[in-house]
């Protein structure tokens, strides 16, 4: 079960990257430029679609299904994994490594998208898990949609912390995430969208709070 965290203040809003590990190779694996997920997974996205030999309507349906499943996965991972604090000092250290560092240094420009050292193993786990459920070739467009959701999540997360959004719709999505960071880190777990926060009553009332 997830441990409920108390709201805490960030340590620094600097875009500079804080050091997490003494070992240089571990430190390097913990950082990533925001374009790397695009370079890795956009070709994979199109390769997955190329493997489909069915009709267009079925492909689009499976693509949308995978995208929808990603939104739920994003919420569950953020709420119950990233915000889980295992007991003891080692637990606190692990929590800092997988998510606490982002709350302490929310604008660290090299820790706003998932590094390949984490995303690649997770991609294999999810792909083979979905393949066991759906089989081949159904898994290909489904996982392509799932992957598209992940890429939207990563790119939107980076943009929320580094870009100005003028459209009211995107401003509300950004505000939802900023309030999660700076006021209520035990609510607002949807990053790319607040859908599951509404479903599970963990959304933040944007009308009574300001960034």
pLDDT score at 67: 98
The C-alpha atoms of residue 37 and residue 188 are separated, in whole angstroms, by 24
Among candidates 100, 114, 186, 175, which has minimal Cα distance to 149?
114
pLDDT along the chain (211 residues), means of 10: 49 73 86 94 97 94 98 95 86 81 84 90 97 96 98 94 85 88 87 93 72 42
pLDDT score at 90: 86
SS3 content of the chain, % helix, strand, coil (to 5): 60, 0, 40
Q: What is the largest CA-CA distance in the chain?
A: 53
pLDDT tens string 96-152: 877 878 888 888 888 889 999 999 999 999 999 999 999 999 999 999 999 999 999
The C-alpha atoms of residue 14 and residue 17 are separated, in whole angstroms, by 8
Give residues with Cβ within 8 angstroms of 80, minimum separation 6.
Answer: 2
Written as six digits, the tokens of 29 are 């694996």
The C-alpha atoms of residue 186 and residue 189 are separated, in whole angstroms, by 8
Exposure string of 75-114, with b = 16+ CB inside 10 Å and e = fewer, is: bebbbeebbbbeeeeeeeeebeeebbbbbebbbbbebbbb
């Amino acid at each position: 079960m997830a441990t409920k965290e108390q709201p805490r203040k960030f340590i620094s809003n600097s875009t500079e990257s804080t050091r997490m590990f003494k070992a240089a190779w571990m430190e390097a694996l913990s950082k990533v430029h925001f374009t790397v997920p695009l370079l890795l997974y956009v070709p994979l996205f199109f390769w997955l679609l190329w493997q489909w030999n069915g009709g267009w309507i079925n492909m689009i349906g499976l693509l949308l299904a995978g995208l929808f499943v990603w939104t739920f996965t994003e919420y569950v991972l953020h709420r119950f994994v990233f915000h889980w604090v295992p007991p003891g000092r080692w637990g606190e250290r692990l929590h800092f490594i997988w998510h606490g560092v982002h709350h302490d240094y929310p604008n660290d420009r090299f820790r706003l998208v998932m590094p390949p050292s984490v995303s690649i193993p997770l991609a294999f786990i999810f792909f083979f898990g979905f393949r066991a459920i759906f089989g081949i070739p159904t898994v290909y467009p489904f996982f392509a949609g799932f992957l598209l959701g992940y890429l939207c999540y990563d790119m939107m997360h980076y943009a929320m912390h580094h870009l100005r959004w003028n459209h009211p719709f995107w401003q509300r999505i950004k505000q939802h995430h900023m309030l999660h960071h700076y006021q209520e880190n035990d609510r607002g777990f949807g990053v790319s969208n607040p859908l599951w926060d509404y479903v599970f009553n963990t959304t933040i009332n944007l009308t009574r709070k300001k960034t």
